[in-house]
A and B are shown apart, each in its own frame.
Chain A
């Protein structure tokens, strides 16, 4: 806990300093609130307008969590299939990359045309942004298996299945978790984007309503909410990672991720 405080004060100081400069500059040049609200005004809106956005938050959490869980499941399953079946990897890897070259903003309206305004097209958008970092991270992890351990397993006659579940899978977990963390922050972004397209609830809706009526302070409240939500997801995954990868922090020497790369 103490070390968290020791490390945490620097970014916190920078953050506070930025806010102070913003507040000072906006006051000095008398910037109108509809153009750039003061941090104090945003904070005030966040407190007084609480009832306006609280239901939107719940909706976004449900949407992004659903999308995230489906997305990482798809990501992990795709990674395992591509890795275990080389033919699939050759056939589908380019397609996988291509799928990431279509901007979500372009794809989302199409999904609405195909699937309507329900939950499904929104979840698909989140799955599309979430699965990719997970798949790539898991595949990297599978490929970077330690040679000595692999050789040992082969010498004692382990089957490919045993090699995968006893070596490649656990060995890929540190790498997989970095993918899961990236996907966690993407999932919130994906949820907000999909809500812009047509939803009756969600932070994305709150944001659209606010910007179309020039309630700029509320737009900033929405931004802050998105940040808090992303950070919370990130923190949850970090906590899961710590408990799953306990072996990495045990003992005197911290084994860093670069040992076998």
Chain B
């Protein structure tokens, strides 16, 4: 299970009208990206889904039950890795399940660490890892949670170009094995096109859904896709949507 639906979501902070009638859905096992200009309230959508704030109107539901202002139903990967420096890699990965109160499955956790290419680093502390490694730990931490949907908030924006591409390919390969529903925020059009099944394009504030684009490319996807003609055509379309 893991079908997330947002219906007619609106939110303003005082006079600052951030979201206007946002409707979108993530189907089970689907990878959906939200792109929008910076400051368009993308993170606000996550804060509402995470239950940190209540929407002014509209509903958020997961598998049919309404989630408005309730916490603990999603897994999350923040922009900065936010690893706990006093916990080892293994303990960090276990944190999400610990908070959710589910039983730890040590074999599964070790398998996840292995799939992140971090075997041998189980007992290392975060300050011994590189930026890319930290982000991988942060992602498998969100995968290790029992929740069926993961929200990723511009997770690769702080990485350099090469590491980012590497991380995107890695993310796809591991997601294809675990098949969780993903809602992904980014301001990078390439990244959204390369990773997602569908892309939601947001406007400037107050954010409305400008267009929903289904990405037609087959999986597994490879790097060459980034320079193919259909890819560039779609990229141009999204770019123009964001500019107008």
Contacts and interface: CB of A to CB of B under 8 A. Distances in A.
Interface of A: 146, 148-149, 151-158, 162, 166-167, 170-171, 173, 245, 247-248, 250-253, 255
B176 interface: no
B128 A251 contact: yes
Contacts of A155: 46-47, 50, 52, 74, 76, 78, 151
Given A155-B47, A156-B74, 6 more contacts: A148-B79, A148-B80, A155-B76, A155-B151, A166-B84, A250-B125
B167 to A, nearest CB: 19
Nearest to B51: A157
Query: Does more than half of chain A's interface fall in helix, strand or loop, or is it mixed?
Result: helix
Given A247-B86, A253-B127, A166 B95 contact: yes
Interface in B114-150: 124-125, 127-128, 145, 147
Contact of A154 (B50, B86, B147): B50
Contact of A152 (B72, B76, B98): B76
A166 to B, nearest CB: 7
B78 A157 contact: no
Contacts of A253: 127
B128 A157 contact: no
Contacts of B78: 148, 151-152, 155
Given A155-B46, A162-B99, A166-B98, A149 B72 contact: no
Contact of A158 (B85, B99, B127): B99
Which of B46, B47, B86, B125 counts the most chain A CB atoms within 10 A? Answer: B86
Interface of B: 46-47, 50-52, 71-76, 78-80, 82, 84-87, 95-96, 98-100, 124-125, 127-128, 145, 147, 151
B171 to A, nearest CB: 18
Contacts of A167: 84
B221 to A, nearest CB: 28
A217 B145 CA distance: 68
A255 B83 CA distance: 14
8 contacts: A155-B50, A155-B52, A156-B99, A166-B95, A166-B99, A251-B125, A251-B128, A255-B85
Query: Does more than half of chain B's interface fall in helix, strand or loop, or is it mixed?
Result: loop
B95 A154 contact: no
Given A155-B46, A166-B98, A247 B71 contact: no
Nearest to B85: A247
A153 B128 contact: no
B183 to A, nearest CB: 12
A258 B223 CA distance: 41
A247 B82 CA distance: 16
Contact of B86 (A162, A170, A251): A170
Contacts of A151: 78, 82
A173 B87 CA distance: 13
Contacts of B71: 154, 156-157
B82 to A, nearest CB: 4
B138 to A, nearest CB: 9
Contact of B82 (A149, A166, A170): A149
A70 B124 CA distance: 36
B99 A250 contact: no
Contacts of B47: 155
B73 A170 contact: no
Contacts of A255: 85, 127
A218 to B, nearest CB: 47
B154 to A, nearest CB: 13
Contact of A157 (B50, B79, B86, B87): B50
